[in-house]
Structure 1
């Protein structure tokens, strides 16, 4: 650290004027500095949008939600606007709207053929319009089943089937009324000839305004990507257009990953691919998204309402690039001649050796079995990435001390594909009968880790900050 930086730190954090004038720092000043945002483990540069945002959409990982309107289970639970609001606040950029026939030709949103409650389509649009760009300026992609089938329903006027033209008119009117004159609108009129456009500016790439026949106008709203059923990698190579995307269930995708991983990677270099939870996850549980990020799937859709490991990985990965919801994929997942296969060690690997010394903890959350800070605490360091990189190590247990436990243990990780790796710090309380109890966690990309002495903030299972609870670590790697 040079003298100028040291002087600035002293001036900013040293509370004792006499010490400050002597260009020194007291213990109190040092504690204030170490507790500041400047000493967090997450790199300051990664808190802003720093990646090239002019690539086509298929070159990005996109923060994506599944059945966004649901806030509980998939069969009986409520549909609620909070599903959209909370997902947008968490940086989600791909939302799902299931539009169905409602009473008096007013479209509704719910999980079709189930007992979930219904939302008015127009209120969903109002919520998205209000919250989509409060913190983020980048595009929202909307997967809308009704709009996705409009080209097939243009001539079915008067039919009672899902997607009928009368309902389309209501959809168009809802958009017209809510977003009149809004800069959030993106149309083919101001995007001539761009079916999949770059994402260098804000906008909602779903709705446009053009005074023509309603059904035709609505079908033409799909200007970014058209949904097509996935048949096979060979079929896609021969027939799929660059602006056509496909959705694959997690079970089928997992089989393809095991049998044809390299083909899967080549597929995602060309086409937007969305992975969604299997139908048997009626409790809105989630799968591990890492295995599908490893093969370049752009939209790995999760149930945002369900906390746990998958959402920890989701939130941690998309911290990067200013939490914009868009992450530029590594070059080896964008090159349509790539040889990358996540199931095999890279032939020309430049592994990173990551060293983490876990020094201590501060005011860790109390165990539910104890009202004081007397929990028996330990920390697990979990590395997620390609299969060869996945591993975890843990500290010893510090007995009856969650207030200021000291471990001072060093851990080393050899990471073959650091561009895809996430590190998850998990604090637990040891339990002899019921098993260990989760106390807090923090997840972030390995290459977004700040070197040196750093503070690791902790978050609850629901994703809430547990400040001032934190870990104190030393991080080092060379790349």
Structure 2
């Protein structure tokens, strides 16, 4: 799998919960619907253009007038990834001369489209920002409540290119190609004629709904439907649906079955075949990831911090490679919104006593330390309340280290846990909710725990003697003011953590972990039961590729830091591993990696498991990089198991290729894996498009084995090129996971 940049890294929109009241936000929405909002749009040439910003009556898109081309002047609400006020790193605002009182609102989509709108006052800017944010949240809520109608509406809006509220043959042909449906113009015309009940040569929305029903029914699922339908024409009644959940899907309470039945049947007495097909292929209603762990905190969060794996980022500021890429404040926002709970800041002296962050002695660009801390303060607890660790690598002079200390206290305020606070603080994720911890030296006389610039380590360890010159010294090695804020103390253990405190942490390069795995795995595991470890990539990964985190997890390492800007296979494994426990960024380690007094030698608490599966079919698969145009794809699926020891050594399973059918391919391919460490195992599904030269990687789904539900389940897919969620694309898999 090739590594690629991930411009939509966080996979979650950055939508503020705002600076104005809900009433004011609703007033803005009403104004957008009626008279519109007067704005100045800043063009790519830096020119101001007077515009009227409005929304449609369905709240599905915002648009400005006048516009030379309707598609350039409109933005679908579902595509909005970020809306923010002020300096948001927009290139359009670099060195821009604002007029007095003028404030910018920047709106970005998942595809990278950006609008920069200028308003006369800061208040108007915050009102517009919160109003649009409210629109986005409302549409997401409606999509969650009725995902089927949301999908139909999305396709309808996309297809209706001329805004006529009807689809002609030209628009239908374009939609079929976009949806990867191999339907000739003649066949599309026949379908249009069949569902055009008022015989006007086009489909209105109600007619399009019936066409969508026709398109999405899967005859492969008919035998399963007939098994539980009391009458094949009427459908599956309530009692039959409860029996289906019990016999095929592994259970569910009577109340859960009732609620799901009512939702799928839309309040009717029976579930139709169309509704049954859409339910099974909906990753929202029928996800393979158990909602009990995917959407709820299931782990005990009251154990000391060193009992957890922590979703962690390396050189968080970088947007690309390690030598020449841009450093961006935005990368911290994206990492935090993606569930990351430990971010890294490499701090250096900046001009005018203003500390900066960048990859030292490289051509990477520089950003202000204070701007990063402001971004962290804003977004640290948007998607998770559990603590955030700031891993500082300090190269600053004592003077600028004191500037950093002042900025941390001033900006983070009560969220910052200080050394004095720590004396009275219980170090558990629950007790540390909405607190920010600093990782550095707790005492000025301690040795710094930082990496050299080549990415290797100089830290002392029983298996790694110090070099002749000792560890590398940094300017900021003596700053009591900064040390007074440290609550996650860098510590170089010489006795595998026997004399360490649970809040102590030591950093190692990935190659050192490989060495531990060969020379002293038991000792290193016990060390990780006493204190924390942070692992980071070796220095030769200048392209910001990632190493597999599984080995470090299997030895109990906690903070396994990856290059979040690179959406490659190890990063996808990491994302899948942390998809459990409500994506809060903390996963409780299995007991055999927590109990220092356990000498049983067992490497698992759950018994070994057999994972049997059938890759049944696909639904509405994307084109490469989610392109609108291009050939219809020829999809196939590969399946692999990632885990500790022998778990990762099993051969992958591959389905046959289905030619010219990305909308409704069928494979029916069986496979199985054995996992001896199910708590650490991740199963990965990758969908490819067969090509004459290199096959295109379309989408992925990686899930922790311990959180998969048995039965016929839909995989929640992500775009392979960026990690963007694909809420309406899925692969249907039948799982049967059982102990050996």
- TM-score tier (shorter): 0.7 to 0.9
Q: Which residue of structure 1 lines up, in the alignment, with residue 407 of structure 2?
A: 174
Paired residue secondary structure (2:663): coil
| 2:435 equivalent to 1:198 | no
TM-score by length of 1: 0.86
Query: Which structure's relative contact order is higher, taking Cα pairs within 8 Å and 6+ residues apart?
Result: 1
Matched ranges for 1:136-151 at <5 A: 136-146=384-394
Ranges in structure 2 where 5+ consecutive residues have no aligned partner: 1-241, 244-253, 440-477
Indicate yes or no: 2:257 matched with 1:257.
no
Aligned to 1:219: 483
Structure 1 pair 222–346 and aligned structure 2 pair: CA distance change class (3 A): closer
The reply on whether 1:378 has 2:611 as its aligned counterpart is no
Quote the offset at 1:367 in angstroms. 4.9
Q: Aligned residue for 1:358?
A: 615
Report the Cα distance in structure 2 between the residues aligned to 1:292 and 1:425, rounded to whole angstroms.
23
- Aligned partners of 2:700 and 2:717 also within 8 Å: yes
Shift in alpha-carbon separation, 1:430–1:139, aligned structure 2, 3 A: same
User: In 2, distance between residues paired with 1:448 and 1:353?
Assistant: 14
Aligned residue among 4, 18, 27 for 2:273: 27
Which residue of the partner structure matches residue 463 of structure 1? 723
Q: Secondary structure at the match of 2:607?
A: coil
Residue 334 of structure 1, CA deviation: 0.7
Q: Secondary structure at the match of 1:293?
A: helix
Matched, 1:415 2:647: no
For the structure 1 residues 415 and 347, does the alpha-carbon distance in structure 2 shift closer, same or farther, using more than 3 Å as the test?
closer
Output the CA distance in 1 between the equivalents of 2:714 and 2:604: 36
- What are the ranges of 5 or more consecutive residues in structure 1 without an aligned counterpart? 147-161, 208-213
Distance in 2 (CA, whole Å) between partners of 1:108 and 1:254 is 33
The 5 Å alignment of 1:322-341 reads 322-338=582-598
Q: After superposition, give the CA deviation of every residue in 1:184-219 in whole Å (9 maximum; x if it has no partner).
A: 22234443255x811212211239xxxxxx943321
Query: Residue 418 of structure 2 is aligned with which of 187, 212, 216?
Result: 187
| Aligned match for 1:122, one of 357, 370, 379 | 370
Mean Cα displacement is larger for which, 237-246 or 387-396? 237-246
Higher Cα radius of gyration: 2
Q: Aligned match of 1:398 in 649, 652, 658? A: 658
Shift of the 285–240 alpha-carbon distance from structure 1 to 2, 3 Å rule, reads same
Question: What whole-Å deviation, never above 9, does each CA across 1:245-286 have from its counterpart, x for those lacking one?
Answer: 111111122122123222222221222111111111111111
Give the aligned partner of residue 210 of structure 1. none
> Which residue does the alignment assign to 1:441?
700
CA distance in 2, matches of 1:292, 1:340: 21
Contact 2:591 2:605 in 1 (8 A): no
Task: State yes or no: 1:278 paired with 2:538.
Answer: yes
CA change 1:178–1:4 in 2 (3 A) is closer
Query: Per the alignment, do residues 394 and 169 of structure 1 end up closer, same or farther by CA in structure 2, a change over 3 Å counting?
Result: same
Q: CA RMSD in A?
A: 2.5
SS at match of 2:712: strand
User: Post-superposition shift, 1:6?
Assistant: 4.5
**8 Å contact 1:373–1:402 — kept in the other structure?**
no
Q: 1:228 matched to which residue of 2?
A: 491
Q: Distance in 2 between matches of 1:6 and 1:53?
A: 30
Q: Distance in 2 between matches of 1:92 and 1:349?
A: 27
Q: Retained in 1: the 8 A contact 2:496–2:526?
A: no
Q: Is the 8 A contact 2:327 2:365 kept in 1?
A: yes
Give the secondary-structure state (helix, strand or coil) at the position aligned to 1:418.
coil
The count of residues paired between Structure 1 and Structure 2 equals 442
Aligned-pair distance for 1:399?
A: 2.6
Aligned residues of 1:430 and 1:436 also touching (Cα < 8 A): yes
Deviation at residue 4 of structure 1 after TM alignment: 5.4
Q: Indicate if the aligned counterparts of 1:262 and 1:340 stay in contact, CA closer than 8 A.
A: no
Matches of 1:340 and 1:78 in 2, distance apart?
49
**CA deviation string 1:380-413 (max 9, x = no partner):** 1111111211222111222332221111122122
Match of residue 388 from structure 1 = 646
Checking the alignment, whether the CA contact within 8 Å between 1:458 and 1:470 is kept in structure 2 is yes
Deviation at 1:240, TM superposition (A): 4.1
Measure how far apart 1:63 and its partner are: 0.6
- Given the superposition, is the C-alpha separation of residues 406 and 173 from structure 1 closer, same or farther in structure 2, using an over 3 Å criterion? same
Picking from 65, 74, 91, the partner of 2:313 is 65
